[in-house]
């Protein structure tokens, strides 16, 4: 080995343990370094197998997008990717001008925990992304790195997806996720915001327009996706360790979900937050008027007892004027301390519906925020409401949501027992959706838990979700607590939840939310209804 080559190899190995050369077909044409130690393969096995067999299937779209966007002389990474055999590596790719068509990859141990989404997930969900962003911001405060929030809109993506078959659409979604992860910090800090809108965190430096062109090119590698073009906005994150960071990030993403990329981009995340706050305050004022003037209605969805298909009760779901998103409105009510008034107004309307029921068989479940459940004035108001309306006694169920965290479990549990003593059952809503679910069940004595629909709707596949539901039901039975499965949308899923021992079921199989409570004839199998896309909250509250 000549001195020049030896020096070059020494230079390379100061930052990497394994060097690969990959051609445009995906074949590994050259290997140098600690192959066995780094990836568990011999040099000969790597050359004969190609790079794809080496990488976990969930991370292949990331590298495909990264390689496809390389120009002569360009460098991408480092990104963390998982190996098919287990473990993770840090990979940096470069295409040398002197050797076009050959991708040089430097591989080193993954220095930090992988930022990749969980197995089977294309991208992080919004909550995990926000937590991840908080962690990166704290790290940046120590290391001095500068990060920015990039918001990306894939114009035409929804139209293209609708024109594809389900397998083709799934492939396109994987391609989009891979392209986004290739741009994100560590190959993982990206999320789906709404519709065609996505967000990611990355280090500052490159113009957002350059990234948008690269994303457009990555998606156009599919013939069917030729009409998709990306637009991007990057917002600097200043003072990343500040306490306002999490709120600023949430407001900025909420605003992006509603408004898209603005014509006049904000100069910083703080400015993006301020704009969002101004708009939100206006909407909060409108929400306050809607609540105080009772400008909302309730829709009713049946909940069935699986033992005999009889209607156990109906859940009352709030619907605002002008089709406003209920989930967003309730979240805003919590943010601006309007939730007690909203929960009280919904309970009052539910009681009026019970008073109007001449059959005596109607029972209604209404949602109550954690913030309301720890409020003594709210519980006192509920008890007076029930006492004044004896027809409602024993016919109200209160579903406790996790959307606002409980910070006083002793008081919350005392209030729950007060409601139970008045004949009302209490249910933990969306059990399993948040990290606090087990803690709630441990510290609160309730009658029912409602299993989060995200675990229910794919039960027929008998995967990890089925095992999770099985354990939740077993835990509930040990605690003498009944269970409700939501998002039961097919007879097949109903059969699975019945077999697992779930007590009640709710979902489109039995009917959509209606303006008037109905008792569907469920003795015969209901016609299957179109499954909802994950992430929608159209039945929320």
Q: The domain containing residue 428 runs over which residues?
A: 294-506
pLDDT tens, per residue, the chain with 541 residues = 455 544 455 555 556 788 888 888 889 988 888 888 888 888 888 888 889 989 988 899 998 888 887 876 678 888 888 898 888 889 988 887 777 778 888 898 886 656 778 777 888 888 888 888 887 777 777 777 788 888 999 998 988 888 888 888 888 888 899 999 989 988 888 999 988 999 999 888 888 888 998 888 888 655 554 578 888 988 877 654 455 577 777 777 887 888 888 777 676 666 665 666 566 656 667 777 878 888 889 999 999 999 999 999 999 999 987 777 777 778 778 777 788 999 999 999 999 999 999 888 999 999 999 989 999 999 999 999 999 999 999 999 999 987 667 888 999 999 999 999 999 999 998 887 655 677 888 889 999 999 988 788 767 666 676 778 888 889 999 999 999 999 998 898 899 899 889 999 999 999 889 999 988 765 444 444 443 333 334 454 5
Q: Which residues in 353-391 are b (16+ Cβ under 10 Å) and which e?
A: bbeebeeeebbbbbbbbbbbbbbeebbebbeebbeebee
Q: Which two tokens stand for residue 478?
A: 């040990």
For residues 87 and 417, give the distance between their C-alpha atoms in angstroms, rounded to a whole number.
Answer: 48
Q: Which two tokens stand for residue 277?
A: 């706050």
User: Residue 200: which of 219, 170, 176 has the closest Cα?
Assistant: 176
Q: Do 247 and 303 share a domain, yes or no?
A: no
Q: Do 150 and 236 share a domain, yes or no?
A: yes
User: Residue 427: which of 506, 488, 489, 349 has the closest Cα?
Assistant: 506
Report residue 323: phi and psi, to 5°. Answer: 70, 25
User: What sign has the CA pseudo-torsion 513, 514, 517, 520?
Assistant: negative
pLDDT for res 355: 94
Q: Do 335 and 481 share a domain, yes or no?
A: yes
Q: Which position has the token pair 């397998």? A: 167
Q: Do 372 and 469 share a domain, yes or no?
A: yes
Q: Do 193 and 90 share a domain, yes or no?
A: no
For residues 441 and 445, give the distance between their C-alpha atoms in angstroms, rounded to a whole number.
Answer: 7
Q: Do 403 and 487 share a domain, yes or no?
A: yes
User: What sign has the CA pseudo-torsion 507, 509, 512, 514?
Assistant: negative
Q: In terms of C-beta density within 10 A (0-12 exposed, 13-18 middle, 19 or more buried), how is residue 106 classed?
A: buried
State the CATH number of the domain containing residue 373: 3.20.20.450
Q: Do 130 and 212 share a domain, yes or no?
A: yes
Asked whether residue 274 is assigned to any structural domain, the reply reads yes
Q: Which two tokens stand for residue 331?
A: 């979240």
Full-model pTM: 0.55
Asked whether residue 37 is assigned to any structural domain, the reply reads yes
Half-sphere exposure of 300 (CA within 13 A, CB side): 20
The SS3 assignment for 373 reads helix
Asked whether residue 91 is assigned to any structural domain, the reply reads yes
> Do residues 123 and 177 lie in contact, with contact meaning Cβ atoms separated by under 8 Å?
yes
Query: What is the number of domains present in the chain?
Result: 3
Beta strand spans in 64-161 (E): 75-82, 88-95, 102-109, 147-155
Residue ending a domain, among 78, 109, 140, is 109
Cis peptide before 78 (omega within 30 of 0): yes
Q: Do 310 and 424 share a domain, yes or no?
A: yes
**pLDDT tens by residue, 429-444:** 888 765 567 788 888 9
For residues 171 and 164, give the distance between their C-alpha atoms in angstroms, rounded to a whole number.
Answer: 10
Q: Do 150 and 250 share a domain, yes or no?
A: yes
Asked whether residue 115 is assigned to any structural domain, the reply reads no
Q: Which residues in 220-246 are b (16+ Cβ under 10 Å) and which e?
A: eebeebeebbbbbbbbbbbebeeeebe
Asked whether residue 11 is assigned to any structural domain, the reply reads yes
For residues 449 and 462, give the distance between their C-alpha atoms in angstroms, rounded to a whole number.
Answer: 22
Q: How many residues does the chain have?
A: 541
End-to-end CA gap in the chain: 71
Q: Do 263 and 302 share a domain, yes or no?
A: no
User: Residue 57: which of 26, 85, 38 has the closest Cα?
Assistant: 85
Q: Do 238 and 105 share a domain, yes or no?
A: no
Report residue 106: phi and psi, to 5°. Answer: -105, 125
Asked whether residue 254 is assigned to any structural domain, the reply reads yes
> Do residues 241 and 134 lie in contact, with contact meaning Cβ atoms separated by under 8 Å?
no
Asked whether residue 135 is assigned to any structural domain, the reply reads yes
Asked whether residue 515 is assigned to any structural domain, the reply reads no
């Amino acid at each position: 080995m000549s001195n020049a080559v030896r020096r070059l190899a020494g230079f390379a190995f100061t930052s990497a343990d394994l060097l690969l050369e990959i051609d445009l077909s995906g074949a590994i044409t050259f290997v140098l370094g600690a192959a066995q130690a780094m990836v568990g393969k011999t040099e000969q096995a790597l050359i004969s197998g190609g790079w794809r067999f080496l990488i976990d299937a969930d991370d292949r779209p990331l590298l495909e997008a990264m390689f496809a966007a390389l120009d002569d002389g360009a460098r991408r990474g480092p990104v963390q990717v998982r190996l098919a055999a287990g473990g993770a590596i840090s990979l940096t790719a470069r295409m040398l001008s002197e050797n076009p068509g050959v991708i040089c990859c430097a591989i080193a141990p993954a220095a930090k925990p992988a930022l990749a989404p969980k197995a089977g997930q294309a991208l992080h969900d919004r909550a995990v992304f926000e937590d991840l962003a908080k962690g990166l911001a704290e790290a940046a405060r120590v290391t001095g790195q500068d990060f920015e929030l990039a918001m990306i809109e894939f114009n035409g993506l929804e139209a293209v997806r609708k024109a594809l078959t389900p397998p083709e659409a799934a492939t396109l979604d994987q391609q989009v996720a891979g392209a986004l992860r290739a741009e994100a910090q560590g190959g993982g800090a990206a999320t789906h915001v709404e519709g065609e809108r996505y967000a990611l965190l990355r280090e500052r430096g490159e113009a957002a327009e350059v990234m948008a062109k690269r994303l457009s090119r990555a998606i156009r590698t599919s013939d069917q996706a030729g009409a998709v073009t990306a637009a991007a906005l990057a917002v600097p994150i200043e003072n990343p360790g500040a306490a306002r960071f999490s709120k600023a990030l949430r407001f900025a993403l909420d605003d992006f979900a509603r408004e898209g990329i603005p014509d006049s981009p904000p100069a910083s995340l703080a400015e993006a937050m301020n704009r969002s706050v101004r708009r939100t305050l206006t909407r909060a004022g409108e929400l306050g008027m809607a609540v105080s003037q009772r400008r909302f209605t309730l829709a009713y969805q049946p909940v069935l007892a699986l033992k005999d298909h009889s209607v156990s009760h109906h859940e009352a779901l709030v619907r605002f004027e002008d089709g406003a998103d209920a989930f967003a409105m309730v979240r805003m009510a919590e943010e601006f301390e309007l939730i007690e008034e909203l929960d009280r107004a919904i309970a009052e309307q539910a009681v009026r519906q019970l008073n109007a029921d001449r059959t005596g068989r109607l029972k209604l479940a209404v949602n109550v925020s954690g913030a309301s459940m720890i409020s003594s004035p709210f519980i006192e108001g509920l008890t007076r409401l029930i006492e004044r309306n004896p027809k409602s006694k024993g016919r109200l169920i209160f579903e406790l949501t996790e959307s606002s965290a409980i910070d006083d479990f002793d008081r919350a549990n005392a209030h729950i027992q007060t409601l139970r003593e008045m004949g009302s059952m209490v249910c933990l809503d969306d059990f399993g959706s948040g990290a606090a679910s087990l803690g709630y069940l441990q510290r609160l004595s309730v009658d029912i838990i409602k299993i989060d629909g995200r675990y229910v709707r794919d039960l027929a596949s008998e995967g990890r979700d089925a095992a999770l539901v099985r354990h939740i039901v077993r835990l509930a039975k040990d605690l003498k607590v009944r269970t409700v499965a939501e998002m039961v949308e097919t007879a097949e899923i109903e059969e699975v939840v019945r077999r697992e021992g779930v007590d009640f079921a709710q979902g489109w199989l039995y009917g959509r939310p209606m303006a008037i409570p109905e008792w569907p004839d469920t003795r015969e199998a209901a016609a299957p209804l179109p499954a909802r896309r994950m992430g929608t909250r159209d039945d929320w509250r």
